[in-house]
Amino acid sequence: MTGKTAPPAKKPASAAAKKKTAAAPKEAAAPKEEAAPKEEAASKEAAAPAPATEEPPAPEHPPEQPPAPTDEPVPVPTEAGAEATPVPAEGSPDLPAEPPAPAPEPKVEKPKEEPPSCPLSLAVEEVSENSFTLTWKAPEQMGRAGLDGYVVEICKDGSSDWKAVNEEPFLSTRYTIPDLSSGDKIHVRVTAVSASGASAPATLEQPVLIREILQLPKIRMPRHLRETYIRRVGDAVNIMIPFQGKPQPEVSWSKGGQPLDTKRINIRNTARDTIFYIRQAQRGDSGKYELSVQINGAEDKATLDIQVVEPPGPPQNLKLVDVWGFNVALEWTPPVDNGNSEIKGYRVQKSDKKSGKWFTVLERCTRTSCTISDLIIGNTYSFRVFSENICGLSDSAAIASGVAYIEKTKTTYQPEKIPQRDMMEPPKFTQPLTDRTTTRGYSTHLFCSVRGFPQPKIIWLKNQMEIREDPKYIALIDQGVCSLEIRKPGPFDGGVYTCKAVNPLGEASVDCRLDVKVPK
């Protein structure tokens, strides 16, 4: 045979490979339809794999095998000399006729910056007859670039045409929308704007009605005017009382239900306060004044209590009731005119005939009687009394008609009889001596105290040896306190010192130790 022959296959093909070979072009797979030369038929028989009956069937899930050898599959000849589809290696998975094209790599895009979140707590702060004011809080998320500001938009109720009221974004969280018509209902929304975009708008749930909000009348009475306002006669009264209310309230003053006398009292009202003015106050201006502030039937009232006072008159019926020893008793009655104020007390003064000067004896005496003591024997005294109120003392005083002469009384001295008492007592130490430590060259003192009658004799001893006239020792006794001064002691002066007290009734003694240190 002279036709082409295929090289022998290294390994028999699997069942899957047989199926793939069967799917080759019809020219090579259908030899029955066309008469092929014997050489080609022989070539096909030589290139065909062994029958399927000789090969065991492949398992459904073949075990993993090492990669197929890199040798290229044997081509199968066809009519036109074209090569057949290569046969896959044994144990390899089913593969398509042509390998798929590689998928393009996805492009990595930069994450987009998110716009800011919605503004918070949008609310209406104030509404007037042609404007209203909004407030809100900054959004929770503002973005990396930060906020450029806010944009406020309005829309009339019943319309869908939103209109921005600010040309450029602003950063304030408070905004007043002006130039509105009274009676309109306005929808409002606020948007936060940044470089990455605009946030979702914050919108009021209900439209805003443009109208003037009424404020109930209220009088703000100052604290010092809530009590009685006291002025002296002739002083000016100038009082300002603030109030509130919207629209402009009506202000009226009255006294005892009657209008005020405009000849004496001037009233000036403003939008926020009323001023009550009297150039020169008189006692007749005292009383309670009623202030009324009204708005369309709503009313608030306050009372101003003014008291105009002056010094009181003098007391009445001052009498010298009694004189005894060094004492005088006085009595009087309250003044007829108290100066339109309560009497706080009375001031009592005396004057002796020799000097003629007045001296205050009592101040703010709250009773209408008093007793004056400690007067000087042989002097003649006159007395007067002033009344006192919140303005001060009365201009004049009540003077007693009589005078008081303090006579010298004859007295006989009788010495007091004192019973005799036995004062004799043996010596007894009330404070003992205490041990002491001193340094050589530094004077020191020993102290103790003793009592007894007759006064005991004090004897000092050192180591049971009596200290006699030695300039190194100075012994003293004063009011029962005994002291012994040792001048510039040395080591030899240390020892036991004894203080002995002796009188006719007995004796007593105390002792102590003195140590003298020698500095190194």
Q: What is the CA radius of gyration of the chain?
A: 65
Task: Compute the distance between CA of residue 388 and CA of residue 393 in angstroms, rounded to an integer.
Answer: 4
Element (H, E) at 388: strand 380-389
User: Cis peptide before 454, with omega less than 30 degrees from 0?
Assistant: yes
Q: Which residues, in sequence order, are CB contacts of 469 under 8 Å at separation 6+? A: none
Residue 90 confidence (pLDDT): 47
Most confident of 66-75, 105-114, 144-153, 252-261: 252-261
* Coil/strand/helix, residue 459: strand
Burial tier of 51 (Cβ tally within 10 Å: 0-12, 13-18, 19+): exposed
| pLDDT value, residue 270 | 92
Q: What is the pLDDT of residues 389-403, one digit of tens each?
A: 999 999 999 999 889
Q: Is 16 strand, coil or helix?
A: helix
The answer to whether the beta carbons of residues 190 and 211 sit under 8 Å apart is no
Whole-number mean pLDDT of the chain? 80
Alpha-carbon distances of 319 from 3, 333, 351, 383, 428, rounded to whole Å: 176, 10, 16, 9, 66
Going 45 to 50 to 54 to 58, the CA torsion angle's sign is negative
Task: Tell me: pLDDT of 68 over 70.
Answer: no
E strand or H helix at 39: helix 38-47
Count Cβ atoms within 10 A of the Cβ of residue 198 and give its class: 0-12 exposed, 13-18 middle, 19 or more buried.
Answer: middle
**pLDDT above 50 (res 61):** no
Q: Out of 70-84, 139-153, 460-474, pick the least confident.
A: 70-84
Query: Residue 62 is encoded by which pair of tokens?
Result: 């073949």
pLDDT over 60 (residue 80): no
**Distance from chain centroid for Cα 46:** 106
State the SS3 of 357-380.
Answer: CEEEEEEEECCCEEEECCCCCCCE
Residue 31 has φ and ψ, to the nearest 5°, of -75, -15
Sign of the torsion formed by the C-alpha atoms of 146, 148, 152 and 153: negative
The answer to whether the predicted template modeling score (pTM) of the entire model surpasses 0.85 is no
Nearest to 49 by CA among 76, 16, 12: 12
For residue 232, what pLDDT is reported? Answer: 94
Peptide bond into 419 cis (omega under 30): no
Q: Which amino acid is at 16?
A: A
DSSP string, 309-320: E---PPPEEEEE
CA distance 463 to 461: 6
Bridge partner residues of 205 (DSSP): none
Taking residues 300-310, what's their average pLDDT? 94
Q: Which conformational region is residue 437 in: left (phi greater than 0), alpha (psi within -120 to 50 degrees), or beta?
A: beta
370: nearest Cα among 407, 312, 320 = 320
Confidence of residue 9 (pLDDT cuts 50, 70, 90): very low
Q: How confident is the model at residue 33 (pLDDT cuts 50, 70, 90)?
A: very low
With contact defined as beta carbons under 8 Å apart, do 332 and 370 qualify?
no
Q: What is the arithmetic mean of pLDDT over 348-375?
A: 92
- Asked if 193 and 147 count as a contact pair (C-beta separation under 8 A), the reply is yes
* Total length of the chain: 520
Cβ neighbours for 261, distance < 8 A, ≥ 6 positions apart: none
Residue 18 has which token pair? 């047989």
pLDDT of residue 18 exceeding 80, the answer is: no
Token readout for 422 is 């036995």
Span 431-453, average pLDDT: 93
CB neighbour list of residue 165: distance below 8 Å, 6 or more residues apart: 152, 153, 154, 175, 177
For the chain, helix (H) and strand (E) counts, in that order, are: 3, 35
370, 351, 354: which is closest to 362 by C-alpha? 370
Q: What confidence score (pLDDT) does residue 104 get? A: 62
Q: Is 135 helix (H, G, I), strand (E, B) or coil?
A: strand
Residue 500 has pLDDT above 50, yes or no: yes
CA distance 503 to 456: 5
Tell me the CA distances in angstroms from 281 to 178, 286, 388, one per residue in order: 49, 9, 21
Q: What's the rounded mean pLDDT across residues 326-354? A: 93
* Mean pLDDT on 265-272: 92
CB 72 within 8 A of CB 9: no
Averaged pLDDT, 311-328 = 93
Q: Whose structure tokens read 């006669």?
A: 233
Of the candidates 304, 298, 272, the one whose C-alpha atom is nearest the C-alpha of residue 286 is 304
